[in-house]
Amino acid sequence: MMKRPSFAIYGILGAFVLGSAFPFYWSFLVASRDNSVLTGDFTLIPGGNFWTNAVRVFDTVPFWKALGNSFLVSGTVTFSVVLLSTLAGFAFAKLKFRGRGVLFLFVVATLAVPTQLGIIPLYMAMAEFGWAGELEAVIVPNLVTAFGVFWMRQYLLDAIPDELVEAARMDGCSLWRAFWHVALPAARPAAAMLGVFTFMQSWNDFLWPLVVLNADNPTLQVALEKLQSGYYVDYSLVLAGTTLATVPVLIVFLVLGRQIVAGVMQGAVKG
């Protein structure tokens, strides 16, 4: 039996975790105060003005619309990335076809390509399609990722025995049905993780939504930027906005934190 570590280790880790959590608390702290208390004598006890400030957020930016837009965009993107990655990942992991090696090499090679740098032609295309300001503009350019295909392929390689696909084919199962009834159920754990990560990434996306969306139809991140970009920054207002925007993320983290930790650690071993 390994011995339990000393208190010093718990102390250092505890300090690190407190430091990790502190900015969230600080955001709530400033948001709960009155704007007149901006002097240097800080206190760690919240004031009673949070709801007043939150209501001012709702009056300043279309917060609920932004929240709904963020859910719609991230949900659609996640659905598409998970489905198309599992489909392609299954083919790369378990099916034999001419050109498989070369095509997969292409996927691996593009993993690191900074596609974000292509925003100028994307912007021209969106203007051409009349999508500027519309949610299509932030959904369509994110429908697939090379990482997703790579991740699903690595997982399915071991998760499905080759004999299972063969057996399904012998029974006269089409490949589509084999995908639907064999691969998809087997892929569930990895697909769930890919889903969580894709959702978070899409939720946090900022540069591109800032380019194509406007203040009337924003995602949550763009709405926060609009709150902050006034000539004079009213911090109790702005940080009420960031606190409100953080709440859904914290709920997700409390519910799925265990899986997110496992996902990060597995990604490291497989990647």
Smallest gap from residue 182 Cβ to other proteins (A) = 13
Among 72, 192, 200, 215, binds other proteins (CB under 8 A): 200
Distance of alpha carbon 84 from alpha carbon 153, whole angstroms: 12
| 35, 39, 45, 50 alpha-carbon torsion, rounded to 10° | 10
- Under a CB-based contact definition with an 8 Å cutoff, are residues 207 and 221 in contact? no
Distance of alpha carbon 224 from alpha carbon 66, whole angstroms: 9
Smallest gap from residue 78 Cβ to other proteins (A) = 15
Q: How many CB atoms lie within 10 A of CB 92?
A: 21
Distance of alpha carbon 9 from alpha carbon 24, whole angstroms: 24
Among 49, 60, 217, 228, binds other proteins (CB under 8 A): 228
Residue linked to tokens 């996306």: 205
Q: How many CB atoms lie within 10 A of CB 76?
A: 18
Among 57, 138, 191, 224, binds other proteins (CB under 8 A): 224
Distance of alpha carbon 148 from alpha carbon 111, whole angstroms: 9
Among 67, 72, 125, 157, binds other proteins (CB under 8 A): 125
Does 132 bind other proteins (CB under 8 A)? Our answer is no
Choice between 52 and 140, CB closer to other proteins = 140
Q: Which stretch binds other proteins (CB under 8 A): 55-63, 156-164, 187-195, 223-231?
A: 223-231
Tokens of 155: 């997982």
Q: Which stretch binds other proteins (CB under 8 A): 50-58, 60-68, 141-149, 185-193?
A: 141-149
Q: Of 57, 109, 65, nearest to 234 (Cα)?
A: 57
User: Counting every residue, how long is the chain?
Assistant: 271
Q: Which stretch binds other proteins (CB under 8 A): 59-67, 71-79, 85-93, 187-195?
A: 85-93
Smallest gap from residue 185 Cβ to other proteins (A) = 17
Q: Which of residues 232-271 bind other proteins (CB under 8 A)?
A: 233, 235, 238-239, 241-242, 245-246, 249, 252-253, 257-258, 260-261, 264-269, 271
Distance of alpha carbon 259 from alpha carbon 265, whole angstroms: 10
Distance of alpha carbon 241 from alpha carbon 181, whole angstroms: 45
Q: Which of residues 2-41 bind other proteins (CB under 8 A)?
A: 2-5, 9-10, 12-13, 16-17, 19-21, 23-24, 26-27, 30, 38-40
Among 69, 182, 203, 240, binds other proteins (CB under 8 A): 203
Q: Which of residues 145-184 bind other proteins (CB under 8 A)?
A: 146, 149, 169, 172, 174-176, 179
Smallest gap from residue 236 Cβ to other proteins (A) = 10
Distance of alpha carbon 256 from alpha carbon 193, whole angstroms: 10
